[in-house]
Structure 1
Amino acid sequence: PADGPAVDLGITADGPAYAAALAPMLADHAGDAVLSVHVPTARSDAAAVAQAIADTVTQTRRGQGRKKPVFAVSHGEEAAAILAGAGIPHFSTESEAIEGFLHLVRYREAQDDLMRTPGSLPRDFSPDTEAAEAIVAAALRQGAAWLDPVAVAGLLAAYGIETVPLTLAPDIDAAAAAAWTIIAAGGSVALKVVSPDVVHKSDIGGVHLDLTSEQDVRDAARKILVRARRERPDARVTGFAVQPMVRKGQRRELIAGLAEDSVFGPVVVFGRGGTAVEVIDDRALGLPPLDLALADDLIGRTRVARR
């Protein structure tokens, strides 16, 4: 029975015995899958049993719209070839077969989740979609390929996502003045180049951290400009981003993105961010649409979420 114990055919069971037991299992709509385990003995030929399983599965599938998954544990190259020819996944051990079945279960669960209609946003959450749309529209009108830091901060703020405070300074003097406010309060400064042509700022020396005086900020800004001109002479430098330093443990540096995959279509990525994002490799992928449960699951699959 579907909800009962396994069916034990005994060590002498031959092909017809396997076929007689398998046919009603495949026809039983209460069962989700069948796992056939055969251990060859001197009185039971593995190839003959494999052929009986293959024939039964093939015949049953011809008369049914629903193709119940069948997994088999087989021994010997001939038996494996017979099962493979019938499109039946075969494994050398029971544990491998069970793991294969669990992979299918997880796949089906994921597909069911994706078919759900995403739930509404939390009741206490009201994003400022008009502000977000205005930011994106302005960038599109300007022909920008990337949002500048101020626009990014505004877009995230529109959806209630907290970020490190930022001042956009157009030149070295403005950067030093903005930094002084942070330094006077006992903090230190992170200074970053701002350019619509530079995405990975650290690659061209465009990030200086832990600056504790106005002179440090001025020196760092000059070094950034010199390095940027040398590394990317074509890049348009529009200024500097001035931010207070945030120590480890106080905040988490995250990455979140959306890409178009040639096979899966839209893909959402979430994980630990930073310059070493590729090395740390703490990311999880999800397929939209994501409701709250799926979003929580996506985040929960990363190590950074468990810190």
Structure 2
Amino acid sequence: MFDPARYDGRMPYRRCGDSGLLLPEISLGFWHNFGHVDDFEEARRIMRRAFDRGVTHFDLANNYGPPPGSAEENVGRILVEDFASHRDELVITTKAGHDMWSGPYGQAGSRKHLLASLDQSLKRLRQNYVDIFYSHCPDPNTRLEETMSALATAVHSGRALYVGLSKYPLKRLKKAVKILKDMGIRCLIYQPPYSILNRWPETEGILDYLLEEGIGCVVFSPLAQGMLTPKYVAGIPEGSRAARSEGFLQAEQVVAQQEKIRALGDLAAAHGTPLNHLAIQWSLRSPAVTSSIIGARTVAQLDDSLDALRSPMPDEGLLAAIDAIAPCVKKKHAED
């Protein structure tokens, strides 16, 4: 049913921090393209093809779609129909914290929201547990002890094997990790946006901290929502994500980065590599990074992203040239 040679070495795996868990260098995310508005059969083909190529990590959240929840419903159906005998070969993750349902309990960092959301996610996914459950975003109005206690309960109740944090700023991340540790729960992994055009985890010192603590890091949007592909080098093409009024990527974002995008495109071309391949390999260059999450609308797009691993890792000269176009200026942090 699946390729028996899927673990023949084509997909490298990295240890998640200093844990015992290995993740593929490229993971498959379901933020876009797997909702009820999308082609279900193509979603099935994408998941199957990813697994055949050694992708064992499927990343979700409660609100992925559209509509919210539909990505989990579709993935759940595919898991039951196609992957039931392979569950122990997969790392399935989900998250809670962003707006999901109406009323006072449909978002944020309370125990009420996080544990109710996890139960809903498990029903949609048709699973008894997820491998990793994340607090999807920090909630400044809820004590960290409450949010972290919900993550601890998820593990103690068997609904999650590990827990992670996403998009927490450094100071709050450090406090959250300590609270979890005091509760007897280790933060396995951290998930930030990270790309050549968004070096926030570097500028904030987060990657250095994760490396010191032995916490894994799986980054999302390594292609900056498509800006780091040949698609936007010459502007905003008709029908592209940035050309539509809905969605997260807006035309003004592309325009603001256009000079850098063109320069990076020229640099990639001069080195004989596609811009998107360069961007994915760049996102994996740090020893702090375990895996890079990509999205895919078609099997061909998936294959193209996975083929980035066949491109060489950028050398020091190329990295210096990238830094000259999109520099990283690290901030100095006072002791907490």
TM-score range, shorter chain: under 0.3
The structure that has the greater radius of gyration is: 1
Higher relative contact order (CA 8 A, sep 6+): 2
TM-score, scaled to structure 2: 0.23
